Amino acid sequence: MFDTPIVYPVPEVLPAAIYDFPIRAYGRTELAELYHPTVKGKKAWERFKYELDLCRDLQAALQAAGYDGRRRTFNPTEVWVIAQYLCVP
């Protein structure tokens, strides 16, 4: 889809910071529970993963940021990318 890899650097002043959403490393379930506060644990991750899988552009951006789908954590750059596509929780 992309000819050259896209790198998403974390700028010093983040657009998502105005919403008081801290851009930092999150566990996948921890981040999923922020996006789905009414469900906990595995079910929250399943719903969040479903949303991630629906958005092909987000998948491509996460892969460009270094996420391979096997890790149980999202680094700050990946959280920033997710916040740009799904807005802040």
Query: 50-65 pLDDT, tens per residue?
Result: 999 888 888 999 999 9
Residue 1 lies in a domain: no
pTM for this structure? Answer: 0.76
Residue 56 lies in a domain: yes
Residue 6 lies in a domain: no
Mean pLDDT of the chain: 82
Residue 8 lies in a domain: no
Checking if the pLDDT of 17 tops 80, the result is no
Residue 71 lies in a domain: yes
Decide: 15 and 23 in contact? Cβ < 8 Å: no
Strand partners, 73: 27
Q: What is the pLDDT of residue 87?
A: 78
Residues 6+ apart with CB under 8 A from 10: 23, 76, 77, 80
Counted domains in the chain: 1
Query: Whole domain around residue 52: which residue ranges?
Result: 27-86
Checking if the pLDDT of 31 tops 90, the result is yes
Residue 17 lies in a domain: no
Residue 63 lies in a domain: yes
